[in-house]
Structure formats: C-alpha cells, structure tokens
Chain A
Amino acid sequence: MGIEGIGARALRKEDKRFITGRGRYVDDIRLHGMTYAAFVRSPYAHAKVSAIDTAPALAMPGVVAVLTGKELVDDKIGNLICGWMIHSRDGSPMKMGAWPAMAPETVRFVGQAVAVVIAETRNQARDAAEAVVVTYEELPAVVDMREAVASGAPQLHPEAPGNVIFDWTLGDEAATEVAFNAAANIVSLDITNNRLAPNAIEPRAAIAEYDPAEEHFTLYTTSQNPHVARLVLSAFYNIAQEHKLRVIAPDVGGGFGSKIFIYPEEMVALWAAKKTGRPVKWTADRTESFLTDAHGRDHLTRAEMAFDKDNRITGLRVKTHANLGAYMSLFSSSVPTYLYATLLSGQYDIPNIFAEVISVYTNTAPVDAYRGAGRPEASYVVERLMETAARQLKVDPTELRRKNFITQFPHQTPVIMAYDIGDFNASLDAAMKAIDYAGFAARKAKAKSEGRLRGIGVSCYIEACGIAPSKAVGSLGAGVGLWESAEVRVNPVGTIEVLTGSHSHGQGHETAFAQVVAGRLGISIDQVQIVHGDTDKVQFGMGTYGSRSAAVGLSAIVKAMEKVEAKAKKIVAHQLEASENDIVIEEGQFKVAGTDKAIALPMVALAAYTAHNLPDGMEPGLKESAFYDPTNFTFPAGAYICEVEVDADTGKTSFVNFVAADDFGRLINPMIVEGQVHGGLAQGIGQALLEHAVYDENGQLLTASFMDYAMPRAEDLPSFNIQHTMTECPGNPLGVKGCGEAGAIGASAAVINAITDAIGNNDLAMPASPDRVWHAIHG
C-alpha cells in the first residue's frame, strides 16, 4: 500500500470488523457469572414513591437481588451532577435539584428508575421487574416551559422556586436597546426549536465487574469519553477511587452527544456488581433510550433584529426559554448559554447583541448536548431572521447576507467569540454556483406554471468547535479542562501505536489519525495502530464531542510526534555523525539531507531500544506523550442552500437539491469528512421535517418508539451535493477546524427557509410535517 497521508481518501482501517460482524460493542461482551439488570421505572411524570414491595420479585426464578433507591442513598452513592456552573443575572448560582441515581422519594419524569432487579438471565430480570410493587402518590406535573414558570405551577425541586434554574444574560442590554430605538427597520420572529431524541442506533449499555480482592471495578460502557466517566464516577459519585476503576468504551454505535454523560444506569450497575458479587449487565431497549437518554434542543425564542436604512444589522435581541427537563444533566447548563448565545453573531458584523436565557425545569427527560448543542439553536435563530428580514426588506437573501458578512479577521463579536479566520463569501459563492442560484427564478416560474410550489432557502452557519481552551472555559464556569492527551509509542520493530484520549464511535479516527502519523513518517497507515477507549491503556483524555477530535486530539498527537521525531533525529545524527538539523524524514527513512546516508525507521527504533549506541545521557526507548490545550475555539462555517417542492394538496415537501459548502480548514480524509457532513445534514433535515419528542400534558412521552418518532429514512432524504472551501485554521498545527456537527447546525434553517419561500407563509414551525405545511398554505 502506498502512503496515505493528509488529504488522502484512505478507506477505513476499522471497516473490516464492522462489515464482517466482528465489531465488539458493549452488549456483545459476556463475562463469566454475569447477571442482568432490569430497571423498575416510574410510569408517572411526577409522584411520591410511598412504598416499594420487593418480596414478590425476590421470589421469582433466577432473581439475585432487588435494590431500591433508598438503599443506594443509604450506601452514600452520590447524586448526579452538572459540571458547568452558570450564574443568573442577579449573581446567584444555578439552582440544581438533587438527582439520585434511583429515586428514593420523588420521581420527576416518566422512566426515572426507582429500583433494579438483578437476575441470572435477561428475561428473568425483566419478568421480576414487573413483579416489583411500587406504590406511587401521583403529583401534578408540568411539561410546557411557559406553564412551568407561571404562578401556581407544580414545583419540581425545592432548590428552584418557580422552576427556574437560571436567568442568564450575555451582551450589552443598554447598547442594544439604543440600537433598536434608532433602527430604520426591525424584524422579529417567534421560534420554536423542537425537542429531539438523539437515537444512536446502539442503545446505551453497561457491564460492571467488581474484584473484591483488589477492591477494583471494571466498567464497559457506551461512552464518548471513558476518562471523564471514570473521573466523575470516582470524584463525585463515591463509586470507586480513580485508580480502582477501569472504564472501557469499546466499539460504540454512535453517540451524537447522548453518550457523553454519565447516567444513573452505569452507577447502579457498578454499585450492584459490588453488592451482589457478580458482574452486572444492563442494555437499554429502545423505549428506555427514548425515556432516559438526554434529549436535545427544546427552546422557545423571541428574536428581533434591527437594521439601519442601508440594511446593515445594528442589533440583535434574543429571549430564550430553554427546557432542561426534570434534572440537570452533566453539561446541560452550558448548552443554552455558552454554546448558544456566543454564536448569535452568526457570520455577521453585529455591533450590539443581547441575549437572555431562562432555563426551566419540567417533568420531562433531562435535556443536554445533542449534535451541535446550542449552536444549531443559535444558527436557526440567526438564519431564520436573515431570511425573514430579506423578505420584509424586499432584498435578495444572499445579498442581505453579503452586505453584513464579516470580512476582516480576526473579528471580535459582542458575545465573547473571537473569530480567527473565514471567508464567508467564498462558501456562499460555492453553494450558489452548485445549486445554480441564478437560474432559480426561472425554475420557480416553470414549476408554478405546472401547478407546483418551489422554494429556495439559504443558511449561512458558523459554529465554535475544537472545544476548548481550558482557561477560557474555566472562566465561563466549566468544571473541567478541555485539552487532549496523546502518547506515541514506536515499537522496537518500527511499528507505531498511538494512544489517544479522543474516542471514535463512527468518526473513523483509526484511519484519519493514522494518516497524519503515517504521512509525517512516510510509512503505510497499516504500520500505525490507534488505541483509544480504555482508561488502563490511555493516560487520560477528555473524549469526543464538539467536533474536537481533529483540532484538539490530533493536535496532541502531532505534538507527541514532534517529540518522537526530534529524539529519533538525535539518534540518527549521532550514528551517522551528522548534525540533527540536517536529518530529514522521507519514505520511512531518516536521511542526512543531500547525501545518500540514511537509517530506516525500524533500525532507528531498534537502536533506541537496544541502547547500544545512543548519544551520551539519552534515555533508551522511543515513546513520547503530550497534552495539547487549544489557544482558541475553531470556527467552521459554510453556506447551505436547499431547493424544495411542496405539494399544495398534501403539504408534502420533496427535495430538488441540497448543497452544502463548508469551510473546515484543511481536510485529513475528505471521504470521512463528507460522510460526517451527510450524517449531520440528515439530522438537521430530520429536525426540520420529521423529528419531534412529544410529551402529553401528563408528561407521558408519546414518541417513545421508532413507530412514533419519525427518524429520517433513506426515502426521506436526497443525495447531497457537497462542496468544500478552505481557510486554514491558524490556531492549531494541522490547520483543521472540525466537521462533525456542521450539517446538523446549518441544515434546519435552509430547509424551513426553502419551504416558507415555496408556500409564501413565514409562520411555520419545525418539524414541518405535511399537516403543518398544509395548514400553513390553506389556513
């Protein structure tokens, strides 16, 4: 095989195991003596747990134990935490209600666990879970955010009067007010960002094992960040000390944010493994996933944009209610605040921005990061406003955007972010060319003459990725640093193992990371093995989310590689009696530039480990590690344009074309990048047209299966037209920005802008189902 370095469309190294059925996911693992857990979950959205009778369940065949929330609390297992502190505008800290892993007294959403059955088989556990008799005293529930903050609403947590978690602001309120008072035109919009279920196709799962002799736990879990899981489980939940807990996240079947968080089930599995002295496995079924995986989005927003007489934006004012569900999930508070309001400047030069975010408890599943996490909500607000403004001001939406684009970099927005680089005109040009924007009017007229409604919608998104500079996020309330670590081990025979704190659950790290390493040395990617997902192997890591693996995780690998290469050059220089500055690396050879003298990588490695002839004072071995802390966020940006036709008789939307033109900086593997965009677009389009997690007024989740929750199917989506533009990111050694979330961030607004253009009615909420579109047309 030839050299497949940066930029090569290398086929994925990991694929062989997946296409032959040899992947190893958590549920595929069986341990000797393993038992199975089944949870007893509340059927009520809000209730007191007045009694639990475990006797009938204990008498069932195969039952090993039935454990309740009270026992868990008695054993001093810690409450779940939210790791990002937000302060309200009055300076008070956010109001965090207590969240035990199983409820001892009060349940606050349907599906919350109150007890667990441990049995010899899966079926025995599930049978016995149904035999646990729980007596509930039902309490009034509140599901709607506006009702939750109204007077007289049912109260969820004593810590949070009025169900308000925080009332937070960002930006200059007075200056924004002045801008609005002086505005020539004001455009306003009420926006609902619909609640979504993440739905990785692999349900969450955990296997916990306890070794009483060593007092040591092992947890296999479906995690995007096993080290963070270990840290939180040990530091906050009193499960085990960090050195007595090994967390392994093997092959993980998609995450999309939902597998960042440490959930009650993992905690209970660990605790139960110690209590029963047996390994415990739990695997969610799909309805459990719908009920208990952290949901995404769920904002209600009033947004206003002020323009001067030349159609330049002079101000943006946003008031958002964010539903965080019944409890504060691990990073829930950061999503509608620092991951949302900081992106409200979009791609535009907006001198004054003010955002107020009121986050609210309701009797629904906790809400946290889901692909994009705050940034899709921001992008949707800004891009729906821009399109609405263009219609109101009677100018072309692309021209209005161009007039207001930021064109000078770096650019400091009024909402914290300092954009380092970008070329927003270039991506808009690329998208307009690819979709033949100039020819749209003729296409629309032709469709109209044939009785069809055609529309086009633009969305120019920006996101903050490469999460994140530790000092900066620390100053904003984060409880963790967001660097990444890496270790490069050159084996004595010259093959290479790279240990990374990033975690791959579909992103193709085993290939893309190997390309960077192999490319630097001029060797085959088959000589490089990427190791991740095991706290016993990898020193530490913050995991994969926020499109951070390339910008942060790979940068750490590059840093470690630089150290390895520097040491190798010293060895070669010593052995060839040359200056280390003259050593160059080409095609797996360390060469003295301008001569035919060279030592191949395996011989350099062997020399490092035999240590027979090293420079004086040099340690043997060829292995280096590095931590990389980014200096700034990265700012992927792009332009999406969607062309649709709407059937006026049925309200059904069909895609004519969807173009995505993204600037991700340098691309490591364009094939993988395009795949990431496809998947993101599908989730953005799914939000726009199909997906909605719906609770009834009693807090029952009506969309708790794939029968009821409309996941995008192949038939619902078009083939995508993917374009790339490039400004190299100055903030990291690879010039990369990140590509994992863009599609989900930019797509929804493009779709809704296209449909509202087609039907001539701007009042349309997501998901734009045929029913809603029909009513928007016909009233």
Chain B
Amino acid sequence: MSTIRLTVNGKPVSVEVEDRTLLVHLLRDHLGLTGTHVGCDTSQCGACTVHIDGRAVKSCTVLVGQANGTSITTIEGIANGDELHPMQAAFRDNHGLQCGFCTPGMIMASIDIVRRHGAGLTEDILRQELEGNICRCTGYHNIVKSVLDAAGRMTAAQAAE
C-alpha cells in the first residue's frame, strides 16, 4: 500500500491504495469520478483519457505511483461551473456523441489535439490524431465536425484574451 498525493480537478487528494492500482481505478473507485471509462484495458480505445499536467494520457495504463504529485484533470473538471468547455459544447451542438461511452475520452483527447495544433488543425490531421480513440456509434463524422468547430471556438477565445 502507498499513499498517493495528487491534484484532481484543482483539489488536493491523498489516498492510500495498493501499489498496482491504475490511475483510472483510483479515479473511478476511490474518488467516484466515473466519467472516465474503461473500454478495453489495453490502451487502444481511449475511453479512459484524462489530462496529466495538461497532456492527454490513457489512465488505464498509468500506475498511481507514476501519477504521484501530478495534476489530473478529468471530464468532470473541464466545465467552468455551468459554463461548458467549448469542446463539450461543440460535441453537443454537432451531435458528436450517441451512447456517450467514448465521449469523455474523446473530449479530453480532442482538447489536447487542439492545444497542440491550434489553428493548423485540419480534418486530415485530426483524423490521424484520433487514431487512439475508438467510437463505435458515430462513424467519427460528427466527432470530426465537433472538434473542428471547437478548435475554431478555442482559437477565437485565445485570440480574444
């Protein structure tokens, strides 16, 4: 057993867990943050994607020890109160989700994709970048539309700052 200290969605957290605990299970089982999902256990589907210190990481492949001392953001932590993150709003506005199971991972991965590519994000680049996130419902058509829409909103917001 080890004591793990990290920041989750801006709040300091200290938990005593088995060393072999995966970050996704710490979030889901110990912190009750069930928005982060497990779809494959093998880092293929991306449903478990969260941000560790601002970068998208698949939390089913991170031992809690590796996350000690980091700052984690999950799907529950990206809205500003009642105000949705532009990526969340764009998924809703463009019907970018159906069953919703891959959606939290898609949103977290997509925020990072937009952060890294900014205004240079094209449909081709986006489709390549989404390689690590699998959706079985949407055929990606509306996910691509959502992320490109959000990229516009996010870069416009950055320009305004």
Contacts and interface: CB of A to CB of B under 8 A. Distances in A.
Interface in B1-49: 18, 20, 25, 28-29, 33-42, 44-45, 47
A714 B131 contact: yes
Interface string B44-66: 11010000000000000000000
Contact of A717 (B29, B76, B137, B140): B140
A28 interface: yes
A50 interface: no
Given A21-B75, A254-B137, A675 B98 contact: yes
B156 interface: no
B138 to A, nearest CB: 6
Nearest to A507: B98
Contacts of A705: 40, 42, 44
Interface in B84-142: 84, 88, 91-93, 95, 97-104, 107, 123, 126-128, 130-131, 133-142
B34 A286 contact: no
A16 B42 contact: no
Interface in A1-53: 11-12, 14-25, 27-28, 30
A149 interface: no
Interface residues of B, number: 55
B72 interface: no
Contacts of A442: none
Interface string A684-720: 0000000000000000000001110001111101011
Contact of A711 (B35, B123, B134, B142): B134
Contact of B134 (A15, A20, A201): A201
Contacts of B154: none
Contact of A21 (B91, B92, B104, B127): B104
A463 interface: no
Contact of A714 (B36, B98, B143): B143
Contacts of B42: 286, 705-707
A743 B37 CA distance: 27
Contact of B35 (A23, A200, A252, A676): A23
Contact of B34 (A15, A21, A717, A720): A21
B84 A713 contact: no
Contacts of B29: 30
Nearest to B36: A21
A285 interface: yes
Contacts of A672: 95
Nearest to B142: A675
B103 A19 contact: yes
Contact of A678 (B35, B100, B138): B138
Given A15-B97, A18-B103, A253-B101, A715 B131 contact: yes
A679 B139 contact: yes
Given A20-B75, A20-B84, A201-B45, A682 B99 contact: no
B101 A201 contact: yes
Contacts of B99: 200-202, 251-254, 505-506
Contacts of B35: 20-23
Nearest to B41: A285
Given A12-B92, A16-B92, A715 B34 contact: no
B139 A720 contact: yes
A271 to B, nearest CB: 25
Contact of B141 (A17, A19, A203, A720): A720
A576 B42 CA distance: 67
A681 interface: yes
Given A20-B76, A253-B100, A11 B93 contact: yes
Contact of A251 (B92, B100, B102, B144): B100
A747 B91 CA distance: 26
Contacts of B126: 714
Nearest to B123: A719
Contacts of B91: 15, 19
A283 B47 CA distance: 15
A773 B36 CA distance: 39
Interface residues of A, number: 60
A502 to B, nearest CB: 15
Contacts of A533: none
Contacts of A19: 75, 84, 88, 91-92, 97, 100, 103-104, 107
A199 interface: yes
B136 A201 contact: yes
B99 to A, nearest CB: 3
**Most chain B CB neighbours (cut-off 10 Å) among A22, A286, A505, A675:** A675
A8 to B, nearest CB: 13
A720 B141 CA distance: 7
A671 interface: yes
Given A19-B91, A19-B103, A719-B123, A682 B140 contact: yes
A412 interface: no
A392 interface: no
B41 A679 contact: no
A678 B84 contact: no
Interface string B67-86: 00000001110010000100
A123 interface: yes
A442 B41 CA distance: 49
A752 B76 CA distance: 43
Contacts of A283: 38
A719 B45 contact: no
A750 to B, nearest CB: 14
Nearest to A290: B40
B131 A713 contact: yes
A715 B123 CA distance: 10
A419 interface: no
Interface in A328-350: none
A201 B92 contact: no
Interface in A250-287: 251-254, 256, 283, 285-287
Contact of A706 (B44, B128, B130): B44
B51 to A, nearest CB: 13
Most buried by A among B38, B88, B137: B137
A104 to B, nearest CB: 29
A284 B70 CA distance: 30
A674 B91 CA distance: 15
A302 B39 CA distance: 38
A18 B140 contact: no
A505 B107 CA distance: 19
A543 interface: no
Given A254-B101, A679-B136, A706-B134, A21 B44 contact: no
A715 B134 contact: no
A508 interface: yes
Contacts of A713: 127, 130-131, 134, 140
A712 B41 CA distance: 18
Contacts of B34: 21, 24-25, 27-28
Contacts of A123: 18, 20
A446 B39 CA distance: 44
A739 to B, nearest CB: 13
A652 to B, nearest CB: 15
Contacts of A28: 28, 34
Given A19-B84, A712-B140, 14 more contacts: A11-B95, A12-B92, A21-B34, A25-B34, A27-B37, A674-B95, A678-B142, A682-B136, A682-B138, A706-B42, A713-B127, A714-B144, A717-B140, A719-B141
13 contacts: A11-B95, A23-B101, A201-B37, A201-B99, A201-B136, A253-B99, A285-B40, A286-B40, A286-B42, A675-B95, A678-B138, A715-B127, A719-B144
Which 7 pairs show the lowest CB-CB distances between chains A and B?
A21-B35, A253-B101, A18-B100, A682-B139, A506-B99, A706-B44, A506-B98
